[in-house]
Amino acid sequence: MKKARYLVENDYMADPAVHVFDGKLYIYPSHDWESGVEENDNGDHFNMKDYHVFSMDDAEGAVTDHGVVLDVEQIPWAGRQLWDCDVAQKGDKYYMYFPLKDKTDIFRIGVAISDKPYGPFIPQPDPIRGSYSIDPAILDDGDGNYYMYFGGLWGGQLQRYRDNKALESAEFPKDDEPGIPARIVRLSEDMLQFAEEPRGVVILDKDGAPLTAGDTQRRFFEASWIHKYNGKYYFSYSTGDTHRLCYAIGDNPYGPFTYQGVILTPVVGWTTHHAIVEFKGKWYLFHHDSVPSGGRTWLRSLKVIELEYNPDGTIKTIEGTATE
């Protein structure tokens, strides 16, 4: 699969999180729709209100839609905007982590539980204590520990926090200061709370200096993903306003991570977002673009393409416009 193929032709789906559960690929996307909310820098036009789950027996085969698995109407603390979610399995339960604005228009991260990977997911009555911002991505480290990576700038509200405390008003670092980092936190045994204070995910350049806020071609913006390859931890993310998917490699879940390069060049549409997963001996990059909607950035479509590594463990850059 040298060119990307679209996965869901009859609806708009974005922000894929993808995992292998019970020998199948499960895709957990955001569900875009035409809500009529005007586009702005705050992301109000991403006004999503439910989630579907999709599964595949084969990355090149048919895609099964399991229908609506969680609706904003079911969530007691809901305000608006169900953005990028992720799902983790622990024991015989599946935990969906989702960002949602509460009734005061602040993004929090909630948890919903199912005993099937394809839902339905039943939400907890309250968001995770101390949670903020968007785009949770979960690492099952294989040793009993689960970690959440999260955060996003601008509409994702990460600039409103420092040391896990809300600021009076948003603060962006100067261009030559370290960029605002994504966050990592270990989850509690029951998977329902944070087990510790979230920490910054530090990304260093090859000289060991943190990427700066002004380095917009490389610094973190949103859309965290984490995967392991040959014993190393690969932290990948979107650069937001420069529209690239980049990655950095570390030796443990907390990092620091050293910047490596670009996974995906810009796609059509403002946002870019992804999941990287191994299935049946091959690696895949799930992502989205806005080609089928004629470039309407709030109406995005899911895609998949094979991802390849170089012998030294670096990832071969994929063109965002390489589509079947």
Give the residue numbers marked as catalytic. Answer: 15, 222
Strand order across the 12-21 sheet: 12-21, 24-32, 50-56, 64-71
Is the Cβ of residue 195 or residue 262 nearer to ligand FUB in the bound state? 262
Q: How many CB atoms lie within 10 A of CB 259?
A: 18
- From the list 182, 249, 243, 239, the residue with the least C-alpha distance to 215 is 239
Q: Give the count of residues interacting with ligand FUB (CB under 6 A).
A: 13
State yes or no: residue 131 binds ligand FUB (CB under 6 A). no
State yes or no: residue 121 binds ligand FUB (CB under 6 A). no
Task: Please give the biggest Cα pair distance in the chain.
Answer: 50
Is the Cβ of residue 69 or residue 223 nearer to ligand FUB in the bound state? 223
Among 219, 273, 274, 303, binds ligand FUB (CB under 6 A): 273
CB 33 within 8 A of CB 12: yes
State yes or no: residue 15 binds ligand FUB (CB under 6 A). yes
Q: Least distance to ligand FUB from the beta carbon of 32, Å?
A: 7
Phi-psi map region of 66: left, alpha, beta (phi>0 left; psi -120 to 50 alpha): alpha
**Euclidean distance between CA atoms 98 and 135, whole angstroms:** 8
Q: What is the CA radius of gyration of the chain?
A: 18
Would you give the DSSP letter of residue 38? P
x/- site string to ligand FUB, residues 215 to 254, per CB under 6 A? Answer: -------xx-------------------------------
State yes or no: residue 271 binds ligand FUB (CB under 6 A). yes
**Euclidean distance between CA atoms 243 and 287, whole angstroms:** 13
Beta bridge pairs of residue 318: 264
Q: Least distance to ligand FUB from the beta carbon of 106, Å?
A: 15
Stated as kind and residue range, the H or E segment containing 107 is strand 107-114
Is the Cβ of residue 36 or residue 311 nearer to ligand FUB in the bound state? 36
Among 16, 84, 96, 183, binds ligand FUB (CB under 6 A): 84
Q: Least distance to ligand FUB from the beta carbon of 143, Å?
A: 28
Q: Least distance to ligand FUB from the beta carbon of 108, Å?
A: 14
**Euclidean distance between CA atoms 140 and 232, whole angstroms:** 14
Give me the residue label for tokens 């977002």: 273
Q: Least distance to ligand FUB from the beta carbon of 51, Å?
A: 12
Among 135, 153, 235, 302, binds ligand FUB (CB under 6 A): 135
**Euclidean distance between CA atoms 286 and 173, whole angstroms:** 32
State yes or no: residue 98 binds ligand FUB (CB under 6 A). no
Q: Least distance to ligand FUB from the beta carbon of 264, Å?
A: 13
Chain residues in the site for ligand FUB (CB under 6 A): 14-15, 30, 46, 83-84, 134-135, 152, 222-223, 271, 273
